[in-house]
Amino acid sequence: MDFRMEHDSMGEVKVPADRYWGAQTQRSFENFQIGIEKIPIEIIRAFAILKKSSAIANNRLGRLDKRRMELISQVCDEILEGRLDGHFPLAVWQTGSGTQSNMNVNEVIANRGNEIAGEKLLHPNDHVNMSQSSNDTFPTAMHIAAVLSIEDRLFLSIDLLAETFGRLMEENEGIIKTGRTHLQDATPITFSQEISGWKNMLEKSRDMLELSLRGLYELALGGTAVGTGLNAPKGFDTEVAKAVAALTGKAFVTAGNKFHSLTSKDELVFAHGALKGLAADMMKIANDIRWLSSGPRCGLGEIFIPENEPGSSIMPGKVNPTQCESVTMVAVQVMANDVAVGMAASQGNFELNVFMPVCIYNFLQSVRLLSDSLRSFNNNCVAGIRPNREKMEENLHRSLMLVTCLNPHIGYENAAATAKKAYRENISLKEACVALGFLEEEKFDEIFKPEQMV
């Protein structure tokens, strides 16, 4: 491998000749050979947005000349297009402030920009990092990445699945089935009502995520090292927030209190709580669907789901609810990530949180997993759900909890006695009620109408 010599304030370092990063990136790459988890590409893209926005703001405020601004912007556009992905190699398990990743982006922009210019016009600290600190850029990148991932990726998947549930509600209107509580038979419900519960879970989760975005729109840029804004010109924070908002089309604003935005990660905790809520709902929905489709002969068997692949290496013909299993595993991971995000956010000491890379790594993994999982679940399972009308009808009329409609006519205790006799002797509710002398056959038939119980 060919190398070139790069230098920083600590001296010279050998860097691979075909990489745009510099000395500080190389030191981090060598000193933190830990795990396989890299800084998420969403963070790198967010850095490109904020570096371009900073260059624009510095130019507007008279700090940076137009040519350097345009060079920085050009390289940031290349990063956003994915053309430089191979130049960001750093591990999550680095400095807790994310300083080395900030410098990684600064060095790549400077070296690539100088290559484009054909001369050394950009310095990673003096120009690319002008008016900034790692301490305000990394929190800003976290918020930008979080907002873009939720709004442009997760919301699309939530809406897709909710739309499918809406279609299923319309298609299955009027189908009555037995309800269940405590995994035991309960009073009747329509299949469309059951589906409406699933659909509304998604809608509620989306509402909670929408609410959490308000805090994530606030950007720490302009706080620099400790929140005082040292070395940033007056008005830089509002000007750079305007530039970020313009580039992304999102409602980003400068944070009102930079001392808070550098050291507290409560907005991410709040937003991830909504992600955990969505994961909890998806666990419930996926479990409902695999219970309802269980069988094919010895389970509930009330719905059919798509048969996507063989389910066993030893049992011929077996097909399993694999999409449901995938969803529930994702839900477990998101719930586990919530612990990591909360623990990381609790480690804000004095003027800075130093658990930021692990915090955003877990946050973005949750968004990514949920986005992909909901889409896969929709396309490969939910979209193909069909009711087993015969099984629903059979289970409905075998349910002893239909006895509940008799309460107003024979009283709770007599209705309970009817249900117990029917269960004990394996006879119908009608036979038990008449045998006990609570109602005549004609009266029973008059009031015992499952379709009126929903």
User: Phi/psi at 352 (nearest 5 deg)?
Assistant: -155, 140
DSSP code string of 344-365: HHT-EETTEES-HHHHHHHHHH
Q: Is 192 a catalytic residue?
A: no
H or E element: which one contains 105?
helix 99-117
d(CA 439, CA 410): 8
- Paired strand residues for 38: 91
d(CA 250, CA 46): 13
Rg (C-alpha) for the chain, rounded Å, is 30
Q: Which of the 8 DSSP states describes residue 98?
A: -
User: Phi/psi at 448 (nearest 5 deg)?
Assistant: -90, 90
Residues 6+ apart with CB under 8 A from 79: 44, 45, 47, 48, 105, 108, 109
The bridge status of strand 253-254 relative to strand 352-353 is unpaired
User: Phi/psi at 373 (nearest 5 deg)?
Assistant: -65, -45
Q: Is 409 a catalytic residue?
A: no
Contact predicate 13/5, CB 8 Å? yes
Using DSSP, state whether 12 is helix, strand or coil: strand
Task: List the Cα angle 8/10/16 in 5-degree steps.
Answer: 50
Using DSSP, state whether 233 is helix, strand or coil: coil
User: What sign does the dihedral 314-315-318-321 (CA atoms) show?
Assistant: negative
Candidate list 312, 313, 346, 428, residue with the active-site label = 312
d(CA 428, CA 415): 13
Residues 6+ apart with CB under 8 A from 417: 436
Using DSSP, state whether 268 is helix, strand or coil: helix
DSSP code string of 56-73: HHHHHTTSS-HHHHHHHH
User: What sign does the dihedral 23-24-29-32 (CA atoms) show?
Assistant: positive
Candidate list 182, 294, 326, 371, residue with the active-site label = 182
Catalytic (active-site) positions: 182, 312
